Amino acid sequence: MDKKGLSFADRVRDLGTETSFEVFAVTDELERNGANIVHFEIGEPDFDTPQHIKEAAFKALKAGFTHYTPAPGIFELREAIAERVSEDFGVDVDPNREVVVMPGAKSCIFTAILATVNASDEVIISNPAYPIYESVVRLVGAVPVFVPLKEENDFRLVPEDVERKVTPRTKMIILNSPHNPCGSTLLKEDVEGLADIARKNDLWVMSDEIYSKIQYEGNFHGIVSEPGMKERTILVDGFSKAYAMTGWRLGYAVGNPEVVAHMVRLQINICSCATSFVQMAAIEALRGPQDCVKQMVREYDKRRKAMVSGLNSIKGFSCKMPGGAFYVFPNIKRLGLKSEELMKLLLDKARVATLHGDCFGEYGEGYLRLSYATSLENIREGLNRIKAAVENL
């Protein structure tokens, strides 16, 4: 009797990924074999987690915070999150019903889309964009609708471009400012215009604000502050970028009580709760000294300027100054190579790890993403290697 054989669910066949982790795995193997790699590919702060946050985790472990917590998170942490969001955006947040803590902001993105978007719904996403948005939208059977980010608009999500994409099937707009991979930031008038579109068309907005504390000029404008937007916005944030806590895996979402209740129920099905002693450390991150964040941002600013200046001195590169996050998105079209070809050349010939722009979407072709979350010394070395590798192309 013939056996059918093992098979896999259709839903995972086209599931997306993050190329940064794939490239990181390649560079890890190269380094284990003796290669010296300059890392511009991974979006991770090179700073250590501030000591007072680590001490809070040690203290929590010693105090026995090694067990389950309530599924939405420890109340004191939810209270601290509510205080921070209320202070930053001028809205009242109920820590009991409008905040959920999860293992990383990705979990919040995943459950927010699962809780609100049905198969065949349309979700408006910038392109290029963080690839997990498209991946999860497709996983639930919905349709991603892309709005190209234009270099002449400083890679901002312009309301007029979004409005042209809205149809009766549109369910959600996903925002990300400061933006990964472009480093762009939304202006106040952009946020006002996007809020108007969401209100007029009765849309959800998921606002990924993981880089909101890393903005160099002007103020961060959160859409939850706009009239009538608190009840339709799912604000996603976390501790990885601002507090150099990527490996701690802790994020949070703020939304209306009904959507948060659905996200909590999904969390119970997926992982029960976030790690208890990590949550205690996060309370200290929010309520403790904030000088560490400001100091990191000052250092990123120096690196940002060095990276942009250096790239603009290399033949075939043209790089705008990003307004936030820790990425640059230089235009490399004059080199006459596809983005992935250049990425591979730089890794093979120069031992510099970057990401090709189209791994963030088709409109990223012709660009590279480089992270400057590394030392000035590494930035200078990497730029020198890139310059030497492309000078004879």
Domain positions in the chain? 10-48+292-390, 53-287
Residue 393 confidence (pLDDT): 80
Residue 3 confidence (pLDDT): 60
Answer whether 10-48+292-390 and 53-287 agree in fold.
no
Give CA–CA dist 379/344, Å, rounded: 19
User: What is the architecture, at CATH level 2, of domain 10-48+292-390?
Assistant: Alpha-Beta Complex (3.90)
Compute the C-alpha angle 126/40/35, nearest 5°.
145
Q: Is 143 in contact with 123 (CB distance < 8 Å)?
A: yes
Q: How far apart are the first and last CA of the chain?
A: 60
170 bridge partner residues: 122
Four-way CATH pick for 53-287: 3.40.30.10, 3.40.640.10, 3.40.190.10, 3.60.15.10: 3.40.640.10
Q: Is 273 in contact with 68 (CB distance < 8 Å)?
A: yes
Per-residue pLDDT of the chain (393 residues; tens, 9 = 90+): 456 788 888 888 778 776 767 787 888 888 899 999 999 998 899 999 999 999 999 999 999 999 999 999 999 999 999 999 999 999 999 999 999 999 999 999 999 999 999 999 999 999 999 999 999 999 999 999 999 999 999 999 999 999 999 999 999 999 999 999 999 999 999 999 999 999 999 999 999 999 999 999 999 999 999 999 999 999 999 999 999 999 999 999 999 999 999 999 999 999 999 999 999 999 999 999 999 999 999 999 999 999 999 999 999 999 999 999 999 999 999 999 999 999 999 999 999 999 999 999 999 999 999 999 999 999 999 999 999 999 878
Residue 24 confidence (pLDDT): 76
3-state secondary structure string across 141-197: CCEEEEEECCHHHCCCCCHHHHHCCCCCCEEEEEEECCCCCCCCCCCHHHHHHHHHH
Give CA–CA dist 178/185, Å, rounded: 5
**Cβ contacts of 388 within 8 Å, gap of 6 or more:** 350
Residue 2 confidence (pLDDT): 54
Residue 291 confidence (pLDDT): 97
3-state secondary structure string across the chain: CCCCCCCCCHHHCCCCCCHHHHHHHHHHHHHHCCCCCEECCCCCCCCCCCHHHHHHHHHHHHCCCCCCCCCCCCHHHHHHHHHHHHHHHCCCCCCCCCEEEECCHHHHHHHHHHHHCCCCCEEEEEECCCHHHHHHHHHCCCEEEEEECCHHHCCCCCHHHHHCCCCCCEEEEEEECCCCCCCCCCCHHHHHHHHHHHHHCCCEEEEECCCCCCECCCCCCCHHHCCCCHHHEEEEEECCCCCCCHHHCCEEEECCHHHHHHHHHHHHHHCCCCCHHHHHHHHHHHHCCCHHHHHHHHHHHHHHHHHHHHHHCCCCCECCCCCECCEECCECHHHCCCHHHHHHHHHHHHCEECEEHHHHCHHHCCEEEEECCCCHHHHHHHHHHHHHHHCCC
